[in-house]
Amino acid sequence: MLTDLRSVLLQIRGVLPLVAALALALVLAACSDDEGPLYVERPVEELYNGALNDLEQGNWQQAAQGFDEVERQHPYSVWATKAQLMAAYSYYQSNKYDDAILAADRFIGLHPGNKDVAYAYYLKAISYYEQIVDVGRDQANTERALQSLEEVVRRFPNSEYARDARLKIDLARDHLAGKDMEIGRFYQKQNLYLAAILRYRSVVESYQTTSHVPEALARLVECYLALGVASEAQTAAAVLGYNYPGSEWYLDSYNLLTGENLYPRIDERSWITQAWDSLF
């Protein structure tokens, strides 16, 4: 349609330029009307309630877009503040975690004193938490989740969100310890004992409340014996026996030591002793 019109205009270019230009404008306007307006402002209550209906029906993505539209069309209304947090929640429910984190961060930045800001911090933290992958892969999101969860506890220690965050902190720390253990085992199998010891030491010093500590101590016994550092091996076994006397890890370590005519014994100069005094 537009191509034919341009051909006609070229033919009559020298005759009626102004009339032709006006006709073109009218046709373009008609075409635009056929496509519909790009922007229609709607009452804020209508936009918000429409997004809320989508949310209640589980249409998470549509709900997020609806709440975003509330803020876009009515940025200075009280509804816009609510819509920011609801958009973050909707993105979280639709597994759009990066969008949820961005929306939560924006709410925190714009409304740090809002009564619902604790929830924004919590929503950001669990958006990272739910992206935690198995220990065989990169743990960047686990570290971010741990930092964000600890921030929730630090800022809002008596809130309901802090109680749940504390549970998730333990799980995130256990996950990070598991990653160190996996890398440590790999190094140990390659006879890279010093590199393995650094990983096991990280577990004992930084993640001492996790389930991986008994194995980390037992692996330290193995690595130190392989290096011929008997005093550290004996100390690791002694700490293991003191804290986990009935575990299979201690029994294996004890048998390993006695096979070398050695016995668990504390060396006060050992880093393991220092970690033991402060952590156990």
Rounded to whole angstroms, how far apart are CA atoms 37 and 157?
50
pLDDT given for residue 1 in this prediction: 41
What stretch of H or E contains 251? helix 248-258
The torsion of the CA quartet 13, 17, 23, 29, rounded to 10 degrees, works out to 100
Token pair listed for 117: 């800001």
Can you tell me the distance from the alpha carbon of 133 to that of 175, in angstroms, rounded to the nearest whole number?
Answer: 9
How many other β-carbons are positioned within 10 Å of the β-carbon of residue 61?
15
Q: How far is CA 55 from CA 48, 101, 119, 148, 264, in A?
A: 10, 18, 18, 26, 61
What's the rounded Cα separation, in Å, for the pair 59 and 53?
Answer: 9
pLDDT computed for residue 209 by the predictor:
87
What confidence score (pLDDT) does residue 11 get? 44
For the chain, give me the number of helices (H) and strands (E)? 14, 0
Q: Which residues of 142-167 are buried (b: 16+ CB within 10 A; e: fewer)?
A: bbbbbebbbebbeebeebebbebbee
Provide the token pair at 34: 């056929």
Quote the pLDDT of residue 40.
64
pLDDT for the residue numbered 225: 96
Look at the block and give the residue holding tokens 């009280």.
78
The tokens describing 107, both together, are: 């709410």
Ordered alpha helix ranges (H), 2-96: 2-11, 17-35, 44-56, 60-73, 78-93
Q: Which residues of the chain register pLDDT less than 70?
A: 1-40, 42, 44, 135-136, 277-280
- The pLDDT of residue 274 is 86
HSE value, Cβ hemisphere, 13 Å, CA-based, for 122? 18
Q: Of 203, 250, 196, 255, whose CA–CA distance to 227 is shortest?
A: 196
Within 10 angstroms of residue 19's Cβ, the number of other Cβ atoms is 11
Which of 83, 171, 87 shows the shortest CA–CA distance to 126? 171
Question: Hey, what are 137's tokens?
Answer: 């892969």
For 1, the token pair is 């349609």
In the chain, the amino acid numbered 244 is Y
Tens of pLDDT, residues 123-181: 999 999 998 877 667 788 889 999 999 999 999 999 999 999 999 999 999 999 999 99
What structural domains and CATH numbers belong to the chain? 45-174 (1.25.40.10), 212-274 (no CATH)
